[in-house]
Amino acid sequence: MLSLNRPRPVGNGKPVAVLVQEHAAEALEAIMTAAPTEVPAPPRADVALPLDALHFFVRYTLREYTSFMWQHGGFLIRRRRVRWPASLLLRLKSTFSAALNFVLLGRGRRTYEFTIDEHGIVRTSGGVTLIDWDDVAAVRTYSRGFMMVLKRGTLPIPFRCLSEGQVATMRELAAARHELALR
């Protein structure tokens, strides 16, 4: 049922990512040919890391995904100070619904490609999702990897998909996002 509501490209049948790239190239060309103006870009204090090295692929397993959701659900429940036994029931319910969502949407069959740079996060899997840094609320570290907490949703990133240098960069990013949250 959900797949019937997805927008489809109209007209030439090109994939949406190609159309977005063509539109971006046209917009960039229009900007480059326009008269130059002296408007300096505001400095971005929240991203001062060498993020160009973060390009990786992720294929989630059900056990890994439910582990992320179990730990993140526990964090949210503790933050809201819900006590036992209600905390256990909420954690079981949220983890079960995340696992059901994982199975029904077929997330275990997809390979996601992530590119993280100073402009934001690009997630590719059949379609392209662009996530701006303003939408990233926090980067949390769990036993299996990092959880990028967005304004609407989360992005789990397992340690097994990252090199040692990428893990160090993600730890710096998590620390920087934590400092911004404290301000």
Give the DSSP letter of residue 155. Answer: E
What is the pLDDT of the chain when averaged over all its residues?
A: 75
Give how far Cα 48 sits from Cα of 45, 54, 99, 170, 173, Å.
6, 14, 35, 12, 9
pLDDT value of position 88:
79
At residue 161, does pLDDT exceed 70? yes
Task: Answer with the residue of higher pLDDT: 51 or 135.
Answer: 135
pLDDT value of position 40:
41
19-48 per-position pLDDT tens digit: 556 666 676 566 556 655 444 443 344 444
Task: Quote the pTM value.
Answer: 0.62
Residue of 71, 72, 45, 44 lying closest to 179 (CA atoms): 45
Q: How confident is the model at residue 128 (pLDDT cuts 50, 70, 90)?
A: confident
